[in-house]
Chains A and B, each alone.
Chain A
């Protein structure tokens, strides 16, 4: 292993990011490119995808909707086709649910269905389609990490955040079970809360929030990339040490390492 991969374990790794044209997803695309990773990102709108590719010409932009089952295999082909394999998957694309936020009793069923399709079924299906590539990466000692972007609304029952919170809670639990089931394959799952950020999704949820009090998505992207890098370098540095550490550290304390610490009910993703 080179010094460079010790210092920057993401260098040269093949990373896919969903929701890559705005907010946290876009910040992650830039952050990972800055760390010399090979990037493929996914978003629904062709215009946005083309704009981000123009600004970041090393990234592969892919148009598709993770909430649509028929898009999943075309996405997987394009991601693994363009990158030649896959080491890290970041499921960042998220649907807020009703906007403005609404009590569950006032939430249209279709809004809940859409949020579940984007925030739970989409990451489940895409991860499942990419599991073979991720397992190969893990066997080759390269990567095999999935980061699912979570929220403190996945843990706390904030009123009016029911749709988003319930969908993120499902994703969070899915991540934990997947992490337990695939440990033997060497694939690790992270479910991290980036904190309340100044993103289009947050603006949709809390239109009158003061942006200066919110975390910049670039800051959150750096923290998330650090968290992935830590998992990767633990693995590369010493497999034995990693498995010992994993035994001692319960999953929840690891996943909350990056949760926001403010006391307000305002949360975001």
Chain B
């Protein structure tokens, strides 16, 4: 696929590949997204705002320059802003592909990094020379101030102009706890939310601390996604329950929503409100208990995001999708085109989902192009 190189959230020509529950594939415009949903459905999105997670500075002991990319934290508490896991890079900047960046200077626990106005101590090296836990000096307010002024959003070598924070914040961005944008959410603007409402489609949010999507280091990428804390509001848990009761479908905007909701669901498929730490990796073997459909960016085979789609459909369909995406010139990455997957009918596991699939109401969303 082609890399999308301009930071435009809602490209008017953006494409949307739709896979319905029988595995049949259609090409739509992304602007027609709302028409894929039915009255009574629920759309759930991630309202995390993106932190400026890339911090440049110096490794004090060696005097060498270093970039620390914050990659995760253990909780969403606003007072827990001092401790982050981070991936370290050596000299160079975003114009160099991450794959080509030199290793950082050798760091050991107890080393100090000076990152603009911030000072951070390496607490632990996590079994890989690039992956560490950092402990920032100062009060939570001082750390928020330092991050907000010195940090830059994580940049991409396929986007030639430096990204500003407003390029990577979705319209619904709230708590600044994501390390890379929950980019499927770029589809949502306030007009789209109004259109959902007009169609009697409910809307709810969760907060999920989306971690970095790729480090350019094969060994590290194999560990992705890292553990990610999330929070499910009471109102969202309630909206899910009510949607189930009326046999509506739950559509997740982005992989992070799937991860959080499926983690928060008990074996009974009931999503409980509160905070949790998503540790699971979703792939072909996963049984989805909550999410009936996913709206997502396009992902290349081999990535953890692509793997997650295997929980929605079989590998034969997925390889047909990959072929279609290539042949029809879909663009990939954060500002690219999109896919909408209904969970394949034979992957439905709950009684509600089976009932929903037999719903006799007219399905205006699935008119062929």
Contact = CB atoms under 8 A, between A and B. Distances in A.
Contacts of B169: 73, 129, 132
Nearest to B143: A81
Contacts of B77: 84
A78 B174 contact: no
B159 interface: no
24 contacts: A62-B141, A73-B164, A73-B169, A74-B148, A76-B176, A77-B148, A77-B176, A78-B144, A80-B49, A80-B174, A80-B176, A81-B81, A81-B175, A82-B140, A84-B77, A86-B174, A133-B47, A133-B174, A135-B172, A139-B205, A139-B233, A139-B235, A140-B233, A184-B197
A84 B75 CA distance: 12
A185 B189 CA distance: 12
Contacts of B76: 84
A74 B233 CA distance: 26
Given A77-B51, A133-B47, A141-B235, 4 more contacts: A73-B164, A76-B49, A132-B170, A133-B174
- From B140, B147, B166, name the one whose CB has the most chain A CB atoms within 10 angstroms: B166
A85 interface: yes
B326 interface: no
Interface in B176-212: 176, 190, 193-194, 197, 203-205, 207
Nearest to B171: A132
- From A63, A73, A78, A182, name the one whose CB has the most chain B CB atoms within 10 angstroms: A73
B49 A132 contact: yes
Interface string A172-195: 000000000110110000000000
A78 B169 CA distance: 15
B174 A77 contact: no
Contact of A62 (B145, B165, B175, B233): B145
Interface in A73-106: 73-78, 80-86
Nearest first, the 9 closest Cβ-Cβ pairs linking A and B are A74-B148, A133-B174, A84-B78, A73-B165, A132-B172, A77-B148, A81-B144, A132-B173, A132-B174
Contact of A82 (B141, B149, B166, B203): B141
Interface string A117-148: 00000000000010111011001110000000
A25 interface: no
Nearest to A181: B190
How extensive is the interface on chain A, given as a class?
20 to 34
A132 B145 contact: no
Contact of B204 (A63, A74, A139): A139
A72 B104 CA distance: 33
B234 interface: yes
Contact of A77 (B49, B140, B233, B234): B49
Interface string A39-66: 0000000000000000000001111000
- From A62, A78, A131, A181, name the one whose CB has the most chain B CB atoms within 10 angstroms: A78
B205 A81 contact: no
B152 to A, nearest CB: 11
Contacts of B147: 77, 81
A249 to B, nearest CB: 23
A136 B81 contact: no
Contacts of B47: 132-133, 136
Contacts of A73: 148, 164-166, 169
Nearest to B81: A81
Contacts of B141: 60-62, 78, 82
